[in-house]
Amino acid sequence: MIVVGELINASRKPIKEAIETQNADYIKQIAKEQHEAGANYIDVNAGIFVGKEPEYLQWLVKNVQEVVDGPCCIDSPDPKAIEAALAVHKGTPMINSISLEKERYDALLPIIAGTDYKVVALCMSDGGMPETTEDRLKIADELINGLVKNNIPIDNIYVDPLVQPIGTNSNFGIEFLNAVEAIMTRFKGVHTMCGLSNISYGLPNRKFLNQAFAIMAIAKGLDGLIINPLDKQMMAGLIAAEALAGRDDFCCNYLGAFRAGKFEF
């Protein structure tokens, strides 16, 4: 399971303020906490700053990697911002994300083609947002084939089947889950990942829904998540779910987590 720590996102107020006041210490602290909690990648997003996104995204990468010996997940739809971040990034980053929307696809492909970057491939096309399993599968098929043809190994592709809120359509949860299963079955070697918070949009008790949804998706084969790694209950749930899904030989990871006190809240 790949965990991407989602907290350094400018749409969160404390991060927005830290960027505006160039409070590097705060960014470093949040990066470090997430890394220590088990995040494999630290997501960096400065998307709310129209015009200044490239500069700020680069600043975030620099500060994160001053304290974290690990890669970032560069989170932007804007090729200029991604390039600015890449210019200072050390190691192999994850790019979040390319999609099948023509403009975005054409702009990002030259940046990632032939590289060893990890790439999040978002199931969205100019035809709109996918609603059914079939919609998602069709976009995933085109995206995976397009990326592989451009020398991106299938093992570096993380398909995001696009989570939509069950509050607006009761079937959005199950259609997503079935898409995960279909993608993981049909395209051997590819990965799937997603953020969770959309699923519970407009509903109370979101944490609970997000957690249950993550565990259900893991059962279907999901092997990447963009989450808050400081949420101990969520992290413990992932470890338990992977063991239950048959992806933890001799329950090694589960037992290691137990001994490390990860099930004590």
Partner 1 sequence: MSIKDIYQAVIDFNNAKVVELVKHELANGTDVSTILNDGLIAAMDEVGRLFSEGELFVPEMLRSAQAMKAGLDELKPLLAQSAAKSAGTIVIGTVKGDLHDIGKNLVAMMMEGAGFDVIDLGVDVDTEKFVKTAKEKNANVICMSALLTTTMPGMEEVIKAVKAQGLDIKTMVGGAPVTQEFANKIGADGYAEDAPGAVEKARELASA
* By CB under 8 A, residue 103 contacts partner 1: yes
The residue among 35 and 104 lying less far from partner 1, judged by its C-beta, is: 104
Q: Any contact of residue 113 with partner 1 (CB under 8 A)?
A: no
Here the tokens at position 126 are 């100019």
* Terminal-residue alpha carbon distance, the chain: 21
What is the x/- site pattern for partner 1, positions 63-92, by CB under 8 A? --------------xx--------------
User: Does 175 contact partner 1 by CB under 8 A?
Assistant: no
Q: Is 165 in the site for partner 1 (CB under 8 A)?
A: yes
Cβ 184 to partner 1 shortest distance, Å: 25
Q: Residue 154 interacts with partner 1 (CB under 8 A)?
A: no
Q: Which of 124, 143, 159, 234 binds partner 1 (CB under 8 A)?
A: 124
What does the DSSP assignment read for 174-240?
A: HHHHHHHHHHHHHSTT-EEEEE-GGGGTT-S-HHHHHHHHHHHHHHHT--EEEE-TT-HHHHHHHHH
The neighbour count for residue 68, using CB atoms within 10 Å, is 19
Q: What is the closest distance, in whole angstroms, from the C-beta atom of residue 70 to partner 1 in the complex?
A: 26
Contact 163, 176 (CB under 8 A): yes
User: Which amino acid, one-letter code, is at 212?
Assistant: A
Six token digits for residue 44? 């960096």
Please report whether residue 167 would count as binding partner 1 according to CB under 8 A: yes
- What is the dihedral angle through the alpha carbons of 187, 210, 204, 30, rounded to the nearest 10 degrees? -120
CB of residue 130 to partner 1, shortest distance in Å:
10
CB of 3 to partner 1, least distance (A): 24
By CB under 8 A, name the one of 4, 15, 18, 53 that touches partner 1.
53
Q: Of 91, 202, 246, 261, which lies in the binding site for partner 1, with binding defined by CB under 8 A?
A: 202
Asked whether 117 and 92 are in contact (CB, 8 A), the reply is yes
Cβ nearer to partner 1, comparing 5 with 130: 130
Sorted by sequence, the CB contacts under 8 Å of residue 120 that are 6+ apart come out as 73, 94, 95, 96, 97, 98, 158, 159, 160, 193
Eight-state DSSP code of residue 126: T
Provide, rounded to whole angstroms, the least separation between the CB of residue 216 and partner 1: 19
Q: Is 204 among the residues that bind partner 1 (CB under 8 A)?
A: yes
Q: Count of CB atoms within 10 A of residue 208's CB? A: 12
Please report how close the Cβ of residue 77 comes to partner 1 at its closest, in angstroms: 5
Spell out a b/e string for 224-256, using b for 16 or more CB atoms within 10 Å of the CB, else e: bbbbbbbeeebbbbbbbbbbebeebeeeebbee
**Piece in contact with partner 1 (CB under 8 A), picked from 23-31, 60-68, 120-128, 249-257:** 120-128
Looking at 13, 50, 69, 91, which residue binds partner 1 (CB under 8 A)?
50
Q: State the residues that interact with partner 1 by CB under 8 A.
A: 11, 47-50, 53, 77-78, 101, 103, 124, 126, 128-129, 164-165, 167-168, 201-204
